[in-house]
């Protein structure tokens, strides 16, 4: 296929989404059909590009020197693009039913919602298909801007404060990311994503002291450490969206947004873009040879191990359903970063597998929570007694996602956690062994905070009156179809994971 298809892939959802606010649709159904067609068309084109990847990158423009906008698709970009291209049409279908409850009178506001919902799809694909660090950075910051109208959608005081927090954190992280971009542009051979990094490790000692005739060993160490320090800027800058401690308070607050938004924020677009960016700069910009067995590996590793435990602990304490799931996301995102920071091909396989499988598990659990909230008006765990029998499909899907997040064998969560633990043990790194302990503690805490919801739904407390839930029922087919697909995927990936693991192994080894 021609490399021009990269531009078409991004422009279809961006232009098609903006047109939602301009086209005078005769009915809501007409608008929904248009939105779904644009979304599905984009996904089909995305998968077509994966199967027939253009041999050359698409060069759009050059700002100065190495700083240019380019698009291409390598193995890692293909994994991220596949995740978002598969989940977005299902999320859009779910949103049609959900937004009927969110917007009852003002159709213009609903059109605005779906406009930015589709535009966000295109921007996220821009991150996945970025050919260099500058392109990824530009679309990464665009993602912040196009998701603001989605978070502030209700225009409530809580939504306004949550959006303000989101912007503060995101713009601060952008500053750190920009510093990383400038340093790599100055010292790297290019800004392109190259497996192993763009820095010549043997000549790192010459980067800062190139004007001197002789270079001492101390000077060599100082210049290498400078670049490692800059890596930390990039890690924490992009780590804002990946919700690493202490930069994660925006994520639970963003739960005030409509559930189709929070599901994408927590499972696909925003948080996974942060994790994806860290994977990129670790393996494709700085390179693990420079970072491994230095403070640039140890400091982030300690942070993500702490974040794994912190997120689960807060989830156990939280009583609001969506905020509980948000803290769960904080923990699981650091699973991905933990795999990345092992800095071995096996660690990268574990990180990519959890990025894929967590996306399915978490979007399912969020969608189930949204169905409960819109169908019953109940938002807290203690209000869910007896709903399991009245909403059987919803809670069946939630139960499967709960077991998957716990890591029960036979479901996809076990596969990714196994890959992470195996990579940690094989690395023979003390901090990695500590990370395995964190994974085990996290599995226990996940069982507590997820099964508490399941048990209350199926086994209500003594004194429960069935009449209080008699009027409730499962949502319509637009919500139930995604539930069924997610349950099949979580089970299918758990039982037949070999093809996916083989693909991710090829990606981690640079074979794709």
Q: Determine if residue 54 is left, alpha or beta; phi over 0 gives left, psi from -120 to 50 gives alpha, anything else beta.
A: beta
**Which distant-in-sequence residues (6+ apart) come within 8 Å of 331 by Cβ?**
307, 308, 309, 310, 311, 312, 315, 442, 446
Q: Is 370 helix (H, G, I), strand (E, B) or coil?
A: helix
Task: Give dist(CA 166, CA 274) in Å, integer.
Answer: 14
Burial class of 160 by CB neighbour count within 10 A (0 to 12, 13 to 18, 19+): middle
Q: Quick one: tokens of 506?
A: 């090829």
The pLDDT of residue 218 is 43
**Residue 301 contacts residue 341 (beta carbons within 8 Å):** yes
**Residue 141 contacts residue 174 (beta carbons within 8 Å):** yes
The pLDDT of residue 314 is 96
Residue identified by tokens 């927090």 is 165
pTM: 0.93
Task: Give dist(CA 439, CA 461) in Å, integer.
Answer: 31
Q: Quick one: tokens of 160?
A: 């306004």
The pLDDT of residue 145 is 94
pLDDT in tens, 451-508: 999 999 999 888 788 888 889 999 999 999 999 999 999 999 999 999 999 999 999 9
Task: Give dist(CA 340, CA 425) in Å, integer.
Answer: 14
**Which distant-in-sequence residues (6+ apart) come within 8 Å of 26 by Cβ?**
none
Alpha helices in 19-106 (DSSP H): 28-51, 75-102
Question: Torsion angle, CA of 427/430/436/439, rounded to 10 degrees?
Answer: -120
Burial class of 382 by CB neighbour count within 10 A (0 to 12, 13 to 18, 19+): exposed
Q: Quick one: tokens of 175?
A: 């500053």
The pLDDT of residue 204 is 56
Q: Bridge-partner residues for 130, per DSSP?
A: 71
Give the residue-averaged pLDDT of 288-316. 95
Question: Torsion angle, CA of 485/487/489/495, rounded to 10 degrees?
Answer: -150
Q: Quick one: tokens of 358?
A: 């967590």
269 or 400, which is more confident? Answer: 400
The CA–CA distances, whole Å, from 72 to 174, 194, 344 equal: 23, 12, 24
pLDDT in tens, 142-195: 999 999 999 998 888 999 999 999 999 999 999 999 999 999 988 888 899 998
């Amino acid at each position: 296929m021609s490399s021009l298809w990269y531009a078409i892939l991004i422009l279809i959802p961006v232009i098609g989404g903006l047109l939602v606010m301009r086209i005078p649709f005769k009915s809501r159904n007409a608008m929904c059909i248009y939105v779904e067609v644009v979304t599905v068309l984009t996904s089909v084109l995305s998968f077509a590009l994966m199967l027939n990847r253009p041999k050359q990158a698409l060069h759009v423009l050059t700002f100065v020197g190495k700083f240019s906008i380019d698009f291409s698709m390598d193995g890692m970009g293909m994994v991220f693009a596949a995740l978002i291209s598969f989940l977005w049409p299902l999320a859009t279908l779910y949103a049609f039913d959900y937004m009927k409850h969110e917007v009852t009178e003002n159709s213009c506001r609903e059109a605005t919602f779906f406009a930015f919902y589709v535009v966000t799809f295109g921007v996220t694909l821009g991150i996945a298909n970025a050919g260099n660090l500058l392109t990824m950075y530009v679309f990464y910051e665009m993602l912040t801007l196009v998701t603001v109208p989605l978070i502030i959608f209700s225009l409530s005081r809580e939504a306004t404060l949550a959006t303000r927090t989101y912007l503060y954190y995101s713009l601060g992280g952008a500053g750190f990311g920009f510093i990383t971009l400038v340093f790599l542009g100055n010292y790297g051979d290019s800004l392109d994503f190259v497996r192993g990094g763009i820095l010549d490790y043997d000549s790192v000692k010459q980067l800062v002291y190139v004007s001197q005739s002789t270079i001492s060993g101390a000077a060599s160490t100082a210049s290498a450490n400078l670049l490692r320090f800059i890596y930390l800027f990039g890690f924490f800058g992009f780590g804002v969206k990946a919700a690493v401690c202490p930069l994660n308070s925006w994520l639970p607050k963003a739960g005030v947004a409509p559930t189709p938004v929070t599901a994408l924020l927590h499972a696909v677009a925003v948080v996974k873009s942060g994790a994806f960016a860290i994977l990129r700069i670790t393996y494709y910009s700085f390179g693990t040879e420079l970072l491994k067995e230095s403070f640039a590996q140890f400091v982030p590793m300690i942070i993500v191990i702490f974040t794994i435990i912190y997120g689960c602990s807060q989830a156990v304490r939280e009583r609001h359903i969506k905020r509980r799931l948000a803290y769960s996301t904080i923990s699981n995102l650091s699973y991905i970063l933990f795999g990345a920071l092992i800095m071995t091909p096996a660690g990268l396989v574990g990180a990519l597998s959890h990025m894929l499988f967590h996306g399915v598990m978490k979007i399912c659990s969020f969608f189930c929570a949204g169905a409960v909230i819109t169908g019953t008006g109940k938002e807290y765990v203690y209000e869910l007694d007896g709903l399991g029998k009245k909403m059987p499909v919803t809670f069946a899907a939630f139960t499967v996602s709960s077991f998957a997040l716990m890591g029960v064998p036979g479901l996809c969560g076990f596969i990714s956690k196994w890959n992470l633990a195996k990579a940690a043990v094989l690395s023979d790194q003390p901090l990695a062994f500590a990370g395995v302990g964190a994974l085990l503690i996290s599995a226990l805490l996940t069982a507590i905070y997820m099964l508490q919801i399941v048990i209350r739904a199926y086994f209500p407390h003594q004194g429960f009156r069935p009449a209080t839930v008699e009027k409730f029922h499962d949502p319509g087919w637009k919500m139930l179809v995604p539930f069924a697909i997610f349950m099949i995927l979580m089970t299918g990936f758990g039982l037949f994971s070999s093809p996916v693991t083989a693909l991710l192994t090829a990606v981690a080894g640079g074979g794709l």
